[in-house]
């Protein structure tokens, strides 16, 4: 028995481009390696921050874990059970314990439904409240929980601001009493003053319900704030993972270092942002066999071009995938 609520092993998702028959026969098929052989775990009650730049595969990872898309290869162990072996029906039941909060609350809430309908639906689907009165009571409870007034219950999404909508999206995720909540950039569409409110809400709810979070974001200061442990992704690979303090105080991987140096801090006394790496983010389409950072990395040598580095334990749970660290 481990305390790992979620364990991902060698998870891989390839998308095949130009996969029609003509292209395949002409040898023009290409492979987009969105998530390429990644492994990580999330302990019960903790927050794992998954950070990386656009296109690095962090959202794909979130969707794979909820099985909104099916992986090409790998294992997802949830609560000591192999999630990928679940039947459709079993998976549907299991969705009760894994919930998602999406980035854009303007797109994730149905504009034609009232808040009552939006929050009542998961209760209905999972048979948590059979009649309207029960549902109503629970929905009002949920609104209160996320800090919205009860008078909002019969309104439509367009009547709410971005921050309020995100509260509704969070309430919907909580409606079914989940254990694991995956937040896919849940605060990146919000203004700073509202972002701070929502981040606090995530914290409060975690304490109250002992929730486990997989928090996906590109904003390093958000990740720093919310996470217990962090995994840094670059072009489909996890390059470094460890406790939040270690990662931010003493980053090891050249990419993590570069990422941290590029953040402009809201303090003129701090050093200005700079980019240590050269060139642009590599493409995940038919990547070369070696390290994905090869070609931009100041430490790169011959081995980096041919052998993809594995995550190596550097002690106390800090893993780095680099030949030169």
Partner 1 sequence: MAEPVLSVDDLTIRFHLKRGELTAVDGVSFSIDKGETFGLVGESGSGKTVTARSIMRLIPTPPGEIVKGQVRFEGENIFDKNDTEMRAMRGNQVAMVFQEPMSALNPVFTVGSQISDALRTNMGLSKPEARERVVELLQLVGIPSPASRLDSYVHEFSGGMRQRVMLAMALSCDPTFLIADEPTTALDVTIQAVILELIRSMIERFDMSLLFITHNLGVVAHACDTIGVMYASHLVELGKKDEIFANPQHPYTVGLLNSIPRLDKQTKFLTPIKGLVCNMLDPPPGCKFNPRCEHAHDRCRVEAPVFKEVAPGHYAACHLLD
- Site residues (vs partner 1, CB under 8 A): 53-54, 161, 163-164, 191-197, 199-200, 203, 218-222, 224-226, 244-245, 248, 258-270, 272-275, 277, 280-281
- Is the CB of residue 162 less than 8 Å from the CB of residue 102? no
- Is the CB of residue 47 less than 8 Å from the CB of residue 216? no
Task: Tell me whether residue 76 or residue 238 sits nearer to partner 1 (CB atom).
Answer: 238
Radius of gyration of the chain (CA): 21
The two tokens of residue 63 are: 């969707």
Rounded CA gap, 217 and 231, in Å? 11
Residue 265 CB, shortest distance to partner 1, in Å, is 5
The two tokens of residue 258 are: 């570069």
Work out the angle at residue 133's Cα, subtended by the Cα atoms of residues 129 and 137, and round it to the nearest 5 degrees.
Answer: 80
Rounded CA gap, 164 and 190, in Å? 10
The two tokens of residue 10 are: 């060698």
Residue 269 CB, shortest distance to partner 1, in Å, is 8
Task: Tell me whether residue 128 or residue 281 sits nearer to partner 1 (CB atom).
Answer: 281
Residue 264 CB, shortest distance to partner 1, in Å, is 4
Task: Tell me whether residue 70 or residue 207 sits nearer to partner 1 (CB atom).
Answer: 207
Rounded CA gap, 187 and 59, in Å? 14
Residue 170 CB, shortest distance to partner 1, in Å, is 15
Task: Tell me whether residue 98 or residue 115 sits nearer to partner 1 (CB atom).
Answer: 115
Task: Tell me whether residue 133 or residue 193 sits nearer to partner 1 (CB atom).
Answer: 193
Residue 133 CB, shortest distance to partner 1, in Å, is 31
């Amino acid at each position: 028995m481990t305390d790992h609520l979620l364990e991902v092993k060698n998870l891989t998702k390839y998308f095949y481009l130009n996969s029609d028959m003509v292209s395949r026969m002409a040898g023009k098929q290409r492979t987009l390696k969105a998530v390429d052989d990644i492994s990580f775990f999330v302990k019960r009650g903790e927050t794992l921050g998954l950070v990386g730049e656009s296109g690095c595969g962090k959202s794909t990872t979130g969707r794979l874990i909820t099985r909104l898309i099916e992986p090409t290869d790998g294992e997802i162990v949830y609560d000591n059970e192999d999630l990928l072996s679940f039947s459709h029906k079993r998976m549907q039941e299991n969705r009760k314990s894994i919930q998602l909060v999406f980035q854009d609350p303007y797109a994730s809430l149905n504009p034609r439904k009232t808040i009552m309908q939006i929050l009542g639906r998961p209760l209905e689907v999972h048979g948590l409240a059979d009649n309207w009165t029960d549902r109503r009571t629970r929905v009002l409870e949920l609104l209160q929980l996320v800090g919205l007034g009860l008078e909002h219950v019969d309104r439509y999404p367009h009547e709410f601001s971005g921050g309020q909508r995100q509260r509704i999206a969070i309430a919907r995720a909580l409606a079914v009493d989940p254990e694991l909540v995956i937040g896919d950039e849940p605060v990146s569409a919000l203004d700073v003053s509202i972002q701070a409110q929502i981040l606090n809400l995530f914290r409060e709810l975690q304490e109250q319900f002992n929730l486990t979070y997989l928090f996906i974001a590109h904003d390093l200061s958000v990740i720093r704030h919310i996470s217990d442990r962090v995994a840094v992704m670059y072009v489909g690979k996890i390059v470094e993972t460890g406790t939040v303090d270690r990662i931010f105080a003493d980053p090891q991987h050249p990419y993590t270092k570069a990422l941290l140096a590029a953040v402009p801090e809201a303090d003129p006394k701090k050093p200005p942002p700079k980019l240590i790496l050269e060139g642009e983010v590599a493409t995940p389409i038919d990547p070369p066999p070696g390290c994905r950072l090869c070609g931009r990395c100041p430490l790169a040598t011959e081995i980096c071009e041919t052998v993809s580095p594995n995550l190596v334990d550097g002690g106390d749970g800090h893993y780095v995938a680099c030949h030169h660290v």
